[in-house]
């Protein structure tokens, strides 16, 4: 089966700094990959390249014809006064129709992602009053509403406690298995990467490496990536 996305001999840099040269890797359909690397090494830039927001200076990125992307961004500013319910927040991502009201099919689609993300019981809770884990699930549900087959999670677990992290990642793994969703999970948390993803893409200042997480050698990882450095 052809990969969902193939990066081939790609180079990219900004005016003052070269980030990658001759980078090649492919993400298979249905794979679950951690993207790891120290801060500033270019994880976010790589995501923007994969999403097509930036163009490589050399080499190519080939996307499968049916690729559709869901992206869960890292930072969101939802204050405690935020008025909309979880359901309303998720529904914001329905942009296909031009009318203000939502059709029955659209409502059913919202019901479906809300159930998939275990939010049915909490859907009428104000997002501002929701817990960190519920907020992350709502962000995930919103991204899933367009039925993507490739999901990028940008440090989705960074602000969560250990139990909530595990719960969220179990949910992502279930979606990966049930829907065949290809997942790219950006993280600093190596334990989580090892437990929930089958392979990792490590970015370093000198190059990159795509390998099964079973072979991950924590001792060889950049220091700031070791779980010990994580503050819970």
Residue 77 in contact with another protein, rule: CB under 8 A: yes
DSSP string, 48-84: HHHHTSS--SEEEEEE-TT--EEEE-S-----TT--S
For the CA atoms of 170, 146, 111, 165, the dihedral, rounded to the nearest 10 degrees, stands at: 20
State the Cα angle at 31 between 30 and 34, rounded to 5°: 145
State the virtual CA torsion across 186, 190, 196, 202 in degrees, nearest 10: 50
Structure tokens at 114: 């809300």
Binders of another protein among 120-139, rule CB under 8 A? 124, 126, 139
Q: Which is nearer to another protein, 24 or 68 (CB)?
A: 68
Q: Residue 66 interacts with another protein (CB under 8 A)?
A: no
List 71, 185, 196, 200, residue binding another protein (CB under 8 A):
71
67 in contact with another protein (CB under 8 A): no
Question: Nearer Cβ to another protein, position 9 or 76?
Answer: 76
Q: Which of 8, 88, 112, 149 binds another protein (CB under 8 A)?
A: 88
**CA 76 centroid distance within chain:** 14
Distance CA 213, CA 196 (A): 9
The interface mask with another protein, positions 19-58, x = CB under 8 A, is: ----------------------------------------
Q: Whole-number minimum distance, CB 106 to another protein, in Å?
A: 10
**Interface residue list for another protein (CB under 8 A):** 71-73, 75-77, 81, 83-85, 88-89, 92-95, 97-100, 124, 126, 139, 142-143, 146
């Amino acid at each position: 089966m052809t990969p969902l996305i193939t990066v081939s001999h790609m180079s990219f840099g900004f005016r003052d700094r070269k980030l990658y040269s001759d980078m090649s890797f492919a993400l298979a359909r249905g794979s679950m990959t951690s993207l790891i690397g120290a801060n500033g090494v270019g994880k976010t830039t790589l995501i923007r390249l994969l999403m097509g927001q930036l163009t490589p200076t050399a080499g190519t990125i080939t996307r499968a014809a049916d690729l559709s992307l869901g992206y869960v961004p890292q930072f969101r500013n939802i204050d405690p006064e935020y008025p909309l319910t979880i359901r309303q927040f998720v529904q914001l991502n329905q942009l296909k129709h031009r009318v203000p009201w939502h059709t029955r099919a659209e409502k059913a689609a919202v019901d479906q992602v809300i159930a998939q993300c275990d939010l049915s019981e909490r859907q009428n809770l104000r997002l501002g009053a929701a817990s960190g884990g519920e907020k992350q699930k709502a962000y995930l549900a919103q991204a899933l509403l367009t039925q993507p087959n490739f999901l990028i999670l940008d440090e989705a677990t960074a602000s969560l406690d250990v139990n909530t992290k595990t719960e969220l990642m179990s949910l992502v793994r279930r979606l990966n298995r049930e829907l065949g969703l290809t997942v790219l999970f950006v993280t600093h948390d190596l334990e989580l990467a090892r437990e929930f993803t089958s392979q990792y893409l490590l970015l370093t200042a000198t190059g990159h490496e795509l390998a099964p997480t079973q072979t991950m050698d924590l001792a060889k990882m950049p220091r700031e990536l070791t779980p010990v450095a994580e503050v819970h």
